[in-house]
């Protein structure tokens, strides 16, 4: 694979001069995608093993989602919620039937879904649980990632996400992830909700002990605390189930989805609620100009349909197991742990092994795009349509890079 070309350098320089430096991307300038593959401006092909943080579960440019998007864009992209549109109701029906949900609140970004859930459970706390005004507490987990808005970073424990952005939104308590006893000890009569990721993605694919979510579900029910599961990354097939909560047979009171809800075509998110919580929102109390727009609904309908009809969830389970076995067979004594569920996989290196970034750079040279999370972990999360041959192709390159270094 080529070194950084003059063309790539040119794009990089302009980004550096004119853009905010809030990302540190690999130096590959992509121009085209199809299935598990992407191409850069110099014509090099790569396998995408990040899938835009799991927004591209259905693969790049899925033809059926593309078709739905183009057709709806030509007909009616935006109506605003001041009027009704003929895509919203069928979107509600389809996503409710698929996820066993009773109420839906459509938003745009993942962070907006999180914010919306926070607003809804607070209001529920005051109006239904009887929490005194402005005393509502929400319990969250250490090393969480729920997005980048001011309220969300207020309860982040990552200094990079949080430092120097204060003053912070009050009303949050932090407990260790994976520790059900700590959650129970932190609950007070003013606790309205517990918010967690079923598997912590940005923290480095941290999988809690078996039984954690079941225990959490039981504790929340016993204390009349709403369980909010952020499935923005784990949901929609990534872990080999439609929702990761299914691995432990639990149902959250509010489930948050985003990312792959559009197959990567468009920012679409939703709060899915099986309780009375979303019922507290009355006209004028919450909204979004683009939330629930007809283009978003048409795209989401197609994205959900292909996920199910094309067997992507089952494939994620099968290929995930196969990929994990392959990763575990790689011999490199700087590897601390290999872990994963479905196609949400990670290789963590020892803290003194020089970091994961250099491996990502080397993998890029071999035609495979993956990204380090924090310093010492590489996440592997290809589109859920990846075949066994393609998985073998990826494993061969990963093994080559990790046994050489």
Looking at 191-265, which runs of residues are DSSP E strands? 191-196, 226-230, 254-257
Closest approach, Cβ 235 to ligand PLP, in A, equals 9
Q: Which residue in 259, 323, 349, 371 is the catalytic one?
A: 259
Q: Rule CB under 6 A: is residue 146 a binding residue for ligand PLP?
A: yes
For residue 86, indicate whether it is catalytic. Answer: no
Among 258, 294, 320, 342, binds ligand PLP (CB under 6 A): 258
Cβ-based neighbour number of residue 14 at 10 Å: 10
Please count the residues of this chain forming the interface with ligand PLP, following the rule CB under 6 A.
14
Q: Rule CB under 6 A: is residue 140 a binding residue for ligand PLP?
A: no
Tell me whether residue 59 or residue 198 sits nearer to ligand PLP (CB atom).
198
Q: Rule CB under 6 A: is residue 377 a binding residue for ligand PLP?
A: no
Among 33, 35, 106, 147, binds ligand PLP (CB under 6 A): 147
Nearest to residue 294, comparing CAs of 331, 266, 256? 266
Q: Are strands 368-369 and 45-48 parallel, antiparallel or unpaired?
A: parallel
Nearest to residue 120, comparing CAs of 132, 109, 104, 108? 104
Closest approach, Cβ 269 to ligand PLP, in A, equals 6
Among 230, 245, 253, 348, binds ligand PLP (CB under 6 A): 230
Closest approach, Cβ 55 to ligand PLP, in A, equals 8
Tell me whether residue 143 or residue 334 sits nearer to ligand PLP (CB atom).
143
Cβ-based neighbour number of residue 13 at 10 Å: 10
Binding mask 84-123 for ligand PLP (x = CB under 6 A): -------------------------xxx--x---------
Among 91, 145, 177, 323, binds ligand PLP (CB under 6 A): 145
Q: Are strands 226-230 and 254-257 parallel, antiparallel or unpaired?
A: parallel
Binding mask 185-204 for ligand PLP (x = CB under 6 A): ------------x---x---
Query: Cα 84 vs. chain centroid, distance in angstroms?
Result: 29
* Residues 106, 251: Cα–Cα separation, whole Å: 19
* Residues 343, 312: Cα–Cα separation, whole Å: 11
Query: Cα 239 vs. chain centroid, distance in angstroms?
Result: 11
For residue 177, indicate whether it is catalytic. Answer: no
Tell me whether residue 125 or residue 147 sits nearer to ligand PLP (CB atom).
147
Closest approach, Cβ 213 to ligand PLP, in A, equals 15
Given the rule CB under 6 A, which of 90-98, 180-188, 230-238, 247-255 is the region that contacts ligand PLP? 230-238
Tell me whether residue 297 or residue 401 sits nearer to ligand PLP (CB atom).
297
| Residues ≥6 apart with Cβ < 8 Å to 23 | none
Tell me whether residue 257 or residue 353 sits nearer to ligand PLP (CB atom).
257
DSSP lists the bridge partners of residue 32 as 39
* Residues 42, 4: Cα–Cα separation, whole Å: 10
Q: Rule CB under 6 A: is residue 240 a binding residue for ligand PLP?
A: no
Helix orientation angle between 388-404 and 312-328, rounded to the nearest 10 degrees = 30
Tell me whether residue 145 or residue 177 sits nearer to ligand PLP (CB atom).
145
Helix orientation angle between 294-309 and 88-99, rounded to the nearest 10 degrees = 30
Among 33, 40, 53, 124, binds ligand PLP (CB under 6 A): 53
Nearest to residue 194, comparing CAs of 169, 159, 166, 223? 223
Q: Rule CB under 6 A: is residue 291 a binding residue for ligand PLP?
A: no
DSSP string, 214-254: HHHHHHHHHTT-EEEEE-TTTTTTTTSSSSGGGGGT---SE
Tell me whether residue 266 or residue 349 sits nearer to ligand PLP (CB atom).
266
For residue 389, indicate whether it is catalytic. Answer: no
Are 230 and 146 in contact by the 8 Å Cβ rule? The answer is yes
Q: Which residue in 40, 179, 230, 253 is the catalytic one?
A: 230
The residue whose Cβ lies closest to ligand PLP is: 110
Structure tokens of 163?
A: 């430092």
Nearest to residue 110, comparing CAs of 64, 170, 152, 173? 152
Tell me whether residue 273 or residue 391 sits nearer to ligand PLP (CB atom).
273
Looking at 97-225, which runs of residues are DSSP E strands? 103-107, 137-141, 172-175, 191-196
As annotated, the active-site residues are 145, 230, 259
Q: Which residues bind ligand PLP (CB under 6 A)?
A: 53, 109-111, 114, 145-147, 197, 201, 230, 232-233, 258
């Amino acid at each position: 694979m080529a070194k950084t070309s003059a063309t790539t350098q040119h794009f990089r320089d302009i980004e550096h001069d004119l853009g905010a430096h809030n990302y540190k991307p690999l130096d590959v300038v992509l121009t085209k995608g199809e299935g598990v593959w992407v191409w850069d401006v110099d014509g090099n092909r790569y396998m995408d093993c990040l899938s835009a943080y799991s927004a591209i579960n259905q693969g790049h440019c899925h033809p059926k989602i593309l078709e739905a998007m183009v057709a709806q864009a030509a007909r009616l992209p935006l109506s605003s919620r001041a009027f009704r549109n003929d895509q919203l109701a069928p979107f509600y029906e389809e996503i409710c039937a698929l996820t066993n949900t009773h109420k839906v609140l459509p938003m745009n970004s993942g962070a907006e879904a999180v914010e919306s859930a926070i607003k809804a459970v607070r209001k529920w706390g005051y109006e239904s649980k009887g929490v005194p005004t402005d005393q509502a507490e929400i319990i969250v987990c250490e090393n969480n990632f729920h997005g980048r808005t001011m309220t969300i970073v207020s309860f982040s424990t990552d200094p990079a996400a949080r430092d120097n952005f204060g003053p912070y939104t009050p009303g949050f308590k932090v407990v260790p992830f994976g520790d059900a006893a700590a959650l129970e000890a932190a609950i007070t009569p003013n606790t309205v909700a517990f918010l967690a990721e079923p598997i912590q993605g940005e923290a480095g694919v941290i999988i809690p002990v078996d039984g954690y979510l079941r225990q959490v579900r039981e504790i929340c029910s016993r204390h009349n605390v709403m369980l909010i599961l952020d499935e923005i990354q784990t949901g929609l097939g990534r872990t080999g189930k439609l929702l990761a909560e299914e691995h432990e047979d639990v149902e959250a009171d509010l489930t948050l989805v985003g990312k792959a809800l559009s197959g990567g075509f468009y920012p679409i998110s939703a709060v899915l609620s099986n309780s009375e919580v979303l019922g507290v929102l009355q006209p004028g109390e919450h909204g979004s100009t683009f939330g629930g727009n007809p283009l978003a609904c048409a795209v989401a309908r197609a994205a959900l349909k292909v996920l199910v009809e094309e067997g992507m969830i089952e494939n994620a389970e099968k290929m995930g197991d196969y990929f994990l076995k392959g990763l575990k067979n790689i011999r490199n004594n700087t590897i601390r742990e290999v872990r994963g569920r479905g196609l949400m996989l990670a290789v963590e290196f020892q803290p003194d092994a020089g970091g994961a970034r250099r491996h990502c750079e080397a993998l890029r040279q071999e035609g495979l795009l993956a990204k380090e999370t924090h310093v010492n972990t590489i996440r592997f999360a290809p589109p859920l349509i990846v075949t066994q041959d393609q998985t073998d192709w990826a494993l061969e390159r990963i093994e080559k890079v990790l046994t050489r270094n």
